[in-house]
């Protein structure tokens, strides 16, 4: 074994990797405290804020409370050499209060068991997984499909999501609206999207919504329901089956007439009724036809009934999609719906 490797392994045993940041912060805080004691007029007490804030970002919930106590002890010692005026007292109070706030956040963080930055990275990773599940798989050249999501208030997490899967020559897509909106609904959507995505690719189309309903019933959420619409599309023939669980109806544009048709399909909301039945609406998409699946945030507001909202959406679709379906989902989502509600839209076009 080389001397460098031996020294590295010895250092790892003496100072575990998980403790190195803590010890670095301890040393840095001690140096700041010693500097304040040595130069009480030149070195400000606010220098202790730097290791305190860094610790709040990188230390785990077990280490952070003890480090905060350590910083406050260094603060008390360093204050002994300061002139007892109002500025020093206020600075010490501010640092003390900030330390208490960071300590309280560490107690909340202990439920997750990770440091602040790690927790944020986990949430971002989960959000990205939702977006990846909404990605449309590769389709034949004569088909185009795109999905767009917007969350309430512009937050990264939304209660609306899209999951898609291709099984052979069938495209399976579900557009789901979890009860609530924004971050509250987004946390439930994180769990539900994974389950919905697995069921979508594993089960026959006729069994998908029933299985999703059963899964939701078992969650025992306070707001334990969701609406969904499921499209099963044969990419060879254009034949489609649509099943709905309390969701706004799909809309089909007939290329021959240029008119939009609302495809009514009613079924019970997911998560409320056991052994629910979901009837099927079937048809065929011909070359040039297009279909929209969407959530109620696209068509419903406090001052407008959902039927009027659907009429407005189809009017905008006629204007924005005319002759150019690529990018049409993004144009429609940006033009419609309330910015205070989650919105999701799926556009499918047979070229």
pLDDT at 336 over 70: yes
Q: Which of 113, 148, 182 is the last residue of a domain?
A: 113
Looking at the structure, do residues 92 and 148 belong to the same domain, yes or no? Answer: no
For residue 121, being part of any structural domain is answered with no
- What is the band of 305 on the pLDDT scale with cuts at 50, 70, 90? confident
For residue 330, being part of any structural domain is answered with yes
254-272 pLDDT, tens digit each: 998 889 999 998 899 998 8
For residue 237, being part of any structural domain is answered with yes
Looking at the structure, do residues 225 and 345 belong to the same domain, yes or no? Answer: yes
pLDDT above 90 covers a percentage of the chain that reads 35
- Predicted confidence at residue 11, as pLDDT, reads 39
For residue 122, being part of any structural domain is answered with no
For residue 96, being part of any structural domain is answered with yes
Number of domains in the chain: 2
Q: Which of 113, 147, 165 is the last residue of a domain?
A: 113
Looking at the structure, do residues 137 and 193 belong to the same domain, yes or no? Answer: yes
Check residues 103 and 332 and name the one with the higher pLDDT. 332
Coil, helix or strand at residue 232: strand
- Predicted confidence at residue 101, as pLDDT, reads 84
Coil, helix or strand at residue 320: helix
| 117 CB neighbour count, 10 Å cutoff | 12
Check residues 130 and 90 and name the one with the higher pLDDT. 90
Looking at the structure, do residues 299 and 343 belong to the same domain, yes or no? Answer: yes
- Predicted confidence at residue 7, as pLDDT, reads 44
Looking at the structure, do residues 90 and 190 belong to the same domain, yes or no? Answer: no
- Predicted confidence at residue 309, as pLDDT, reads 87
- Predicted confidence at residue 6, as pLDDT, reads 46
- Predicted confidence at residue 135, as pLDDT, reads 76
Looking at the structure, do residues 161 and 298 belong to the same domain, yes or no? Answer: yes
Coil, helix or strand at residue 55: helix
Looking at the structure, do residues 54 and 155 belong to the same domain, yes or no? Answer: no
Domain that holds residue 105: 3-113
- Predicted confidence at residue 85, as pLDDT, reads 79
Residues 136-155 have a mean pLDDT of 85
270-292 pLDDT, tens digit each: 988 998 999 999 999 999 999 99
Residue 143 burial by Cβ neighbours in a 10 Å radius (0-12, 13-18, 19+): middle
Coil, helix or strand at residue 187: helix
For residue 126, being part of any structural domain is answered with no
Looking at the structure, do residues 48 and 171 belong to the same domain, yes or no? Answer: no
Least confident of 73-87, 117-131, 150-164, 207-221: 117-131
For residue 118, being part of any structural domain is answered with no
Q: What is the pTM of this model?
A: 0.71
Looking at the structure, do residues 180 and 217 belong to the same domain, yes or no? Answer: yes
- Predicted confidence at residue 253, as pLDDT, reads 95
- Predicted confidence at residue 267, as pLDDT, reads 92
- What is the band of 179 on the pLDDT scale with cuts at 50, 70, 90? confident
Residues 39-62 have a mean pLDDT of 83
Looking at the structure, do residues 315 and 247 belong to the same domain, yes or no? Answer: yes
Dist. CA 201–CA 273, nearest whole Å: 24
Residue 295 burial by Cβ neighbours in a 10 Å radius (0-12, 13-18, 19+): buried
- The CATH number of whichever domain residue 232 belongs to comes to 3.60.40.10
Residues 162-168 have a mean pLDDT of 91
For residue 120, being part of any structural domain is answered with no
Looking at the structure, do residues 78 and 212 belong to the same domain, yes or no? Answer: no
Residues 111-129 have a mean pLDDT of 59
Looking at the structure, do residues 81 and 194 belong to the same domain, yes or no? Answer: no
């Amino acid at each position: 074994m080389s001397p460098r490797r031996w020294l590295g392994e010895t250092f790892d045993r003496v100072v575990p990797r998980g403790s190195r940041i803590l010890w670095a912060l301890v040393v840095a805080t001690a140096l700041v405290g010693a500097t304040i004691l040595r130069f009480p007029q030149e070195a400000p007490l606010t220098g202790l804020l730097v290791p305190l804030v860094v610790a709040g970002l990188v230390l785990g919930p077990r280490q952070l409370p003890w480090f905060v106590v350590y910083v406050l002890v260094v603060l008390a010692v360093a204050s002994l050499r300061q002139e007892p005026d109002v500025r020093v007292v206020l600075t010490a109070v501010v640092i003390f209060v900030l330390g208490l706030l960071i300590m309280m956040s560490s107690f909340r963080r202990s439920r997750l068991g990770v440091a602040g930055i790690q927790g944020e990275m986990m949430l971002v990773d989960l959000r990205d997984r939702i977006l990846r599940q909404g990605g449309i798989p590769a389709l034949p050249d004569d088909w185009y499909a795109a999905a767009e999501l917007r969350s309430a208030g512009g937050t990264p997490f939304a209660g609306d999501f899209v999951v898609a899967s291709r099984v052979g020559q069938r495209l399976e897509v579900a557009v789901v609206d979890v009860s609530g909106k924004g971050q509250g609904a987004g946390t439930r959507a994180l769990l539900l999207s994974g389950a919905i995505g697995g069921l979508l690719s594993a089960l026959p189309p006729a069994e998908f919504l029933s299985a999703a309903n059963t899964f939701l019933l078992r969650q025992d959420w306070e707001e334990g329901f969701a609406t969904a619409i499921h499209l099963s599309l044969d990419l060879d023939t254009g034949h489609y089956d649509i099943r709905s669980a309390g969701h706004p109806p799909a809309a089909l544009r007939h290329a021959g007439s240029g008119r939009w048709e609302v495809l009514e399909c009613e079924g019970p909301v997911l998560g409320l009724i056991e052994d629910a039945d979901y009837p099927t609406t079937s048809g065929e998409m011909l070359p040039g036809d297009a279909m929209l699946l969407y959530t109620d945030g696209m068509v419903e507001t406090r001052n407008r009934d959902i039927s009027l909202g659907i009429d407005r959406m189809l009017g905008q679709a006629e204007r924005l999609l005319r002759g150019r379906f690529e990018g049409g989902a993004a144009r429609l989502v940006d033009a419609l719906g309330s910015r205070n509600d989650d919105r999701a839209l799926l556009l499918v076009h047979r070229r």
